[in-house]
Structure 1
């Protein structure tokens, strides 16, 4: 039983060492990133990309079926009513 307790204590010490090493390496990596960002003048958008203004909000309609009033934003798969038709015929005037 003593061996088991010794191993648990070693595990606890190793976990502490791992966390300390992770913190030290993360701090060094963050410092490197900050130096690179400053040196090249990167903006947050350069690094993370541009965020959508309203995530989850549907895109505005660009096309309307005059017969049914159905609309389509122009994104994704075209609806059946646009199949084999000129898209400009259904464009909503802005």
Structure 2
């Protein structure tokens, strides 16, 4: 049975071989693709790299804190599930003056 050091050396060698094989195959695939693009005069739009069908996503907006726990300073925006420190209590007492 091979020792731990021998196995790790074999593993490292295999990792290097995998990386080299991938690099070679990717280079060949890129060359093939470039040749086909030139041969058929393809555009990025024809290949689906630019699409107007997808609607633009709105950027997430940060919520402003509306409630504050005076003991810990923890805040809550009023969105989503209410925190445990606010459960069963009058929320008006915890409102932050804006």
- What interval of TM-score do these two structures reach, taking the shorter chain for normalisation? 0.5 to 0.7
The corresponding residue for 1:39 is 39
Cα distance in 2, alignment partners of residues 27 and 49 from structure 1: 20
Return the offset for 1:50: 3.7
**Matching residue of 2:4:** 4
C-alpha RMSD over aligned residues: 2.3
Higher helix share: 1
Change (3 A) 1:4 1:49: closer
Q: Secondary structure at the match of 2:46?
A: helix
The CA deviation at 1:48 is 1.9
CA drift at 1:11: 0.0
Task: Give the length in aligned residue pairs.
Answer: 57
Unaligned runs of 5+ in 1: 58-94
